[in-house]
Every structure is written in structure tokens, then in C-alpha cells.
Amino acid sequence: MAGNIYIGEVLENEEVQENCFLMKLRTAPSFDNPVPGQFVMIRIAGLNDPFLSRPISIYSFSRNEIFCTIDLLYRVVGKGTQILAGLIEGSQVEINGPLGNGFDTTSVRKNIVFISGGIGIAPLSMLIESLSSKSEISSSQMIMYPGFQSISAVVGLEKVDRLCSDMNVCTDDGTVGEKGFVTQIFKKDIRQFKPEDTSIFACGPRGMMKALAEVLNKSKFICQVSLEERMACGTGACMGCAVAIKDKEGAMSYKRVCSDGPVFDLNDIIWD
């Protein structure tokens, strides 16, 4: 799906944590309401370099009759995100979106568990906000496991802290919360949850997702994960983001993270 291209105006672009920015964009009211887990491809408007468009999850979204506001929470890791971090109020960006499938929330269960690694908290934050406004899940409890490398990487907790009944922050070095990888911390608690009562949603780096697949191996938990693969076109045209997936019969095929995902059933992903 190619999405639609919009011009966005930067309203704010604040460094909220070391190397981590919250960008607020204003765009046209015709921008479709995004599903949590969808993303935009963003680059500076008018820039000719087609390789400088980057996928960033929609962190928050609102609209009024005149414009839509899109919030992006992003970490600076290389050239593209460095350019974004340099944008000042009034700068114009080109946004293609909303893109991808997003999380499926049609049948969430009594316990809703969110597991994030680093900036993977961004799409989960929008999901948590969206679920908390649904009356059908008012009897569910939302439990969050946000993992970060260290205290200096902790970001995005304020909003989810208000909305989740249980927060289990952890860091690799123990500078905040429990010490350890988020998958290890979740593994210690896993007996509290019954697969038939639990929906799991996760987003983080590939290594974390793979470790989560090992933790949940052969269990009956249903877990949707949003993958953060590198992308080129972002719209399904180049196969640059392909991942190996097994179908219900166990046969392998390649799916595009940008257009078939970024959200997949964890059990369907082939890691090696």
C-alpha cells in the first residue's frame, strides 16, 4: 500500500532525553486516522535524496476540523534521524502515511501485556492510549514491561504509567528499575498469566523479539510484535524489508515489513 503523501509543518521538535526527540507535526485534515502500530515515512520536504526517508511509528495522533497533529518519538541513530533532529519550528517535512497494518485489537483478553525495548515504546504507547479509551476492555488490566539499556535511555514512560495498572521498568545495567533484559524480567512473571486470558503486544530491537520468541516457545500465548526492520521504499515496492514467515501449514514465504506488517504474529516469524 503506497499511502498518501502529505506536507507536515514542524510545531515542536524537543530533545526529551539524550538523543531522543519528540516531534509534533501539523498536517492536512485529510490524513487518515491511524491504527496503533502504523507508521509514516518521513523526510525533509523538497529534499531530492529518495534514500533519506525514514520509517517512524505514530506515537500520538489527534485532529480538529482544520488540521491533524502527529507526534513522533524517535532516537537519533544515524544520518536520517540526525537530519530530523536538526529541524526547527516551521520546517516542512514530507510524510507518507499512515502505512502498514497496525495492531489487531479486535479480541483482546483480560490481561493485556505490553513488552517494549528502547524506543519500541512509541507504537505501544499509542496502542495503550487507544485501548484505554475502549469501554469493552474496562475490565481488562494492562501490564507493561518497558526495558531500556540504561537510565539515560529511559523515555516515554509518563503517558503509559498513567494508563497501565502495573509497570515493570527494567534496565540492562540496573540504573533504573530491575536489572536485566526485559525478556528475562517478563519470563520470571510468566506464570502469573494464562495464555487463554492474555494478549501480548511487543516492539523492540530484533534481538529482543528473538529472545521473546524463545521465552514463549511452544506456549499457547498469542503475541503480536511490531518489527523495526530497515526499510528503503516503505511502500511495498522493493522487498528491501522482507522477513521469513511460516504459514499455517508451516511453509515458508517472505513478507514485507512495510506493507504486510510491521505487525506480525510472533509464532509465524522465522528468525534464522
Ligand X SMILES: Cc1cc2nc3c(=O)[nH]c(=O)nc-3n(C[C@H](O)[C@H](O)[C@H](O)COP(=O)(O)OP(=O)(O)OC[C@H]3O[C@@H](n4cnc5c(N)ncnc54)[C@H](O)[C@@H]3O)c2cc1C
Which of these ranges, 68-76, 95-103, 143-151, 233-241, lies near ligand FES under the rule CB under 6 A?
233-241
Question: Does the footprint of ligand X cover residue 122 (CB under 6 A)?
Answer: yes
- Phi, psi for residue 114 in degrees, rounded to 5: -115, 130
Cell of 66: 482544520
Question: Does the footprint of ligand X cover residue 110 (CB under 6 A)?
Answer: no
Binding site partner of 234, from ligand FES, ligand X, none, Cβ cut-off 5-8 A by kind:
ligand FES
Q: Which is nearer to ligand X, 197 or 244 (CB)?
A: 244
Which of these ranges, 25-33, 81-89, 211-219, 226-234, lies near ligand FES under the rule CB under 6 A?
226-234
Among 144, 208, 258, 263, binds ligand FES (CB under 6 A): 258
Question: Does the footprint of ligand FES cover residue 238 (CB under 6 A)?
Answer: yes
Nearest approach, Cβ of residue 228 and ligand FES (Å): 12
Among 24, 43, 255, 256, binds ligand FES (CB under 6 A): 256
Among 9, 104, 172, 229, binds ligand X (CB under 6 A): 229
Cell of 245: 514467515
Confirm if 205 and 118 have CB atoms less than 8 A apart.
yes
Nearest approach, Cβ of residue 110 and ligand X (Å): 28
Binding site partner of 39, from ligand X, ligand FES, none, Cβ cut-off 5-8 A by kind:
ligand X
- Phi, psi for residue 251 in degrees, rounded to 5: -75, 140
Question: Does the footprint of ligand X cover residue 256 (CB under 6 A)?
Answer: no
Q: Which is nearer to ligand FES, 98 or 146 (CB)?
A: 98
CA distance 265 to 233: 23
Nearest approach, Cβ of residue 73 and ligand X (Å): 6
Q: By C-alpha distance, which of 228, 230, 271, 263 is closest to 119? A: 228
Binding site partner of 215, from ligand X, ligand FES, none, Cβ cut-off 5-8 A by kind:
none
Q: Which residues of 103-126 are buried (b: 16+ CB within 10 A; e: fewer)?
A: bebeebbebbbbbbbbbbbbbbbb
The binding site for ligand FES (CB under 6 A) comprises 231-234, 236-241, 256, 258
The binding site for ligand X (CB under 6 A) comprises 39, 54-57, 73-75, 77-81, 119, 122, 228-231, 257, 262
